[in-house]
Amino acid sequence: MKTLYMLILVLGIQASFKHYWPIIGIDLGTKNSCVGIFRNGNVEIIPNEEGKRKTPSVVAFTDKGLIIGKEANNQAIINPSRTLYNIKRLMGRKFADPSVQNDRKFMPYEIVELDDKPQIMVQNIKGFSSKMFAPEEISAMVLMKMKEISETYLKREVENAVITVPAYFNNAQRQATKDAGAIAGLNVVRILNEPTAAAIAYGFSKRKLKENLVIFDLGGGTYDVSIVSIDDGDIQVIATSGITNFGGEDFDQRLIGYLIKVIYKKINQDISGDKRAIQKLKKEVVKAKIALSVFYETKLDIQDLVDGFHFQETLKRSKFEDLNADLFNKLAQPFILSLKDSKLTEEEISEIILIGGSTRIPKVRQIIEGLFSKININSEINPEEAVCQGAAIQGAIISGESKEIEQLRSFDVTPFSLEFIKIIEKGSIPQVKSERYLFEEKLDVISVYESNGNFVKGYNELGSFCLDKSIFSAKEEKIQHESIFSGGFFGGIISPLIFFNLGTPLTSGSPECPKIEFFFQVGDDGILYASANCKKSEKVIFFDMKHPGLSEEEIRRMQQFKMERVDKKIEDTNSIYQFIQKIYDLIKYPPENQFSDL
């Protein structure tokens, strides 16, 4: 009965979205973010105050106030320790995570530990001598910027959004993204996998086709490969694999490390601890990386890098590729794994869709062509806008805004394998399943984990149940429980693995022991929701699983933080771009009565 209630609840929530137009689509990227809306049968990527369709995911605190976007990025050199970027790489992670520790070496801002989680410590900001921010708070500021951009463009309040995440984001990272949306004042109606979003953007124009695609997603800080099937409007993710902390930022860091050594040889000075010099170097490195995607060599030129030293260096594409050779070699494995999991052959794949700015790097394309020499690389999709387009279309599907796309449906698979107690295999759809275990001791806490193949080294806690000791009597030393996995197939699935520290399988039940039933629902946001009840002596005790994400109280507190914004006012400069976009839409999509809107 409770399983049925949970299913009705989820479906009821989905149905209520039909009244929530507009639902914007946000590609919350490591380097840049993008926002779009689907209307008049078309996706509109919304320009920011400068007319740009991408906004840097950068937040800066100054003596005067808060800056978000390009202006924040522009002042990074003079304000390095208070300019925050690459925050997506910290979302939902533990402080001790090796990737977090590696990023600490290169980030000019201070990353500290609080309750095993990374936090950003900012000194000397307006109204505070110092203040600690959770990664979710900083990402919320970027989302707030995207919300403002869309509200100015649409000339109305925006409350609802679809936000994209890498397919290989785990439960904690997805929850952190959803929490960031809540802090920004957004109702996150869907957490959507980035490759799925790109497939939706592709499938929108080719709904009548039947084909299999490879979605190769290499952005600023994440990497995913997904095998997708499109069949008459149904978009099915068959398999996915990837690396969550891997992308263009890693190429930048490798190049910065090399140039630090070059500079040391030239002036016998180690600049690695000079935050201002590193920011200057980083800005030039990014420009060089982009230039090397077009030219075979480029020149780095930095006036007054440190102590009046004018740094000049010629960098060849071949050197860039040599420095990152081991990183480029990592690209192949997720390709191989995803194709193997899909059980398809190379001949059954029609096209490769590239998304993410790092796919413009020539070496990346060379590796892809080497892996799949017989498959065409699609050049119609804009790699830096496809994810945002798909998110906007998904928002329209949820809101019911357009009958034209009501039949477009997307389905995902679980990206993680379940080991130790095999409940759900990698690539499968969550299903109803029961397991019984016998415990030799009383338990205060039962934890739920997800695993990526190696339980000992690769587990991640999703949450825990705190048990009421009243369910035990003085003589009872054993618990019999039945775990029930209640699954819908709503997309973005994260595998639940329930692991009990002292558990052994039961061959027969012990009627004198209390029975605990666990109910698990994987929502369409890919986040696991769970509850449990214990029936003993006609008394039913309910438990809700405690998630490791932010509490409602923490989210409310973060929502209350206000700081004066000193970046440009969007409404003063955006109207001309809205007018140009409307003219473009009228020419390309001329509805009968749209001229009255001008």
Residue 323: other Cβ atoms inside 10 A: 17
Is 307 annotated in the active site?
Answer: no
Task: Let me know how long the chain is.
Answer: 598
Distance of CA 435 to the CA centre of its chain: 32
Question: Based on the number of CB atoms within 10 Å of its own CB, is 74 exposed (0-12), middle (13-18) or buried (19 or more)?
Answer: middle
- CB of 164 closer than 8 Å to CB of 393: no
Residue in 216, 293, 195, 193 with CA at minimum distance from that of residue 251: 293
Question: Which position among 54, 70, 88, 117 bears the catalytic label?
Answer: 88
User: Cα separation of 311 and 170, whole Å?
Assistant: 42
User: What phi, psi does 108 have (nearest 5°)?
Assistant: -75, -15
Amino acid at 552: E
- CB of 320 closer than 8 Å to CB of 292: yes
- CB of 446 closer than 8 Å to CB of 464: yes
Is 63 annotated in the active site?
Answer: no
| H/E element, 59 | strand 59-61
Q: How far is CA 593 from CA 35, 155, 396, 596, in A?
A: 27, 20, 21, 6
Is 116 annotated in the active site?
Answer: no
Question: Which position among 44, 148, 194, 252 bears the catalytic label?
Answer: 194
Is 217 annotated in the active site?
Answer: yes
**For the chain, how far is it from start to end, CA to CA, in angstroms?**
54
Decide: helix, strand or coil at residue 410: strand
User: Cα separation of 35 and 47, whole Å?
Assistant: 8
| H/E element, 369 | helix 362-371
Amino acid at 9: L
Sign of the alpha-carbon dihedral angle for 335, 341, 342, 345: positive
| H/E element, 397 | helix 386-399
- CB of 439 closer than 8 Å to CB of 502: yes
Question: Which position among 27, 103, 419, 450 bears the catalytic label?
Answer: 27
Question: Which position among 44, 137, 148, 217 bears the catalytic label?
Answer: 217
- CB of 516 closer than 8 Å to CB of 533: yes
User: Cα separation of 234 and 272, whole Å?
Assistant: 51
Strands 351-355 and 376-378: parallel
- Please identify every residue annotated as catalytic: 27, 88, 194, 217
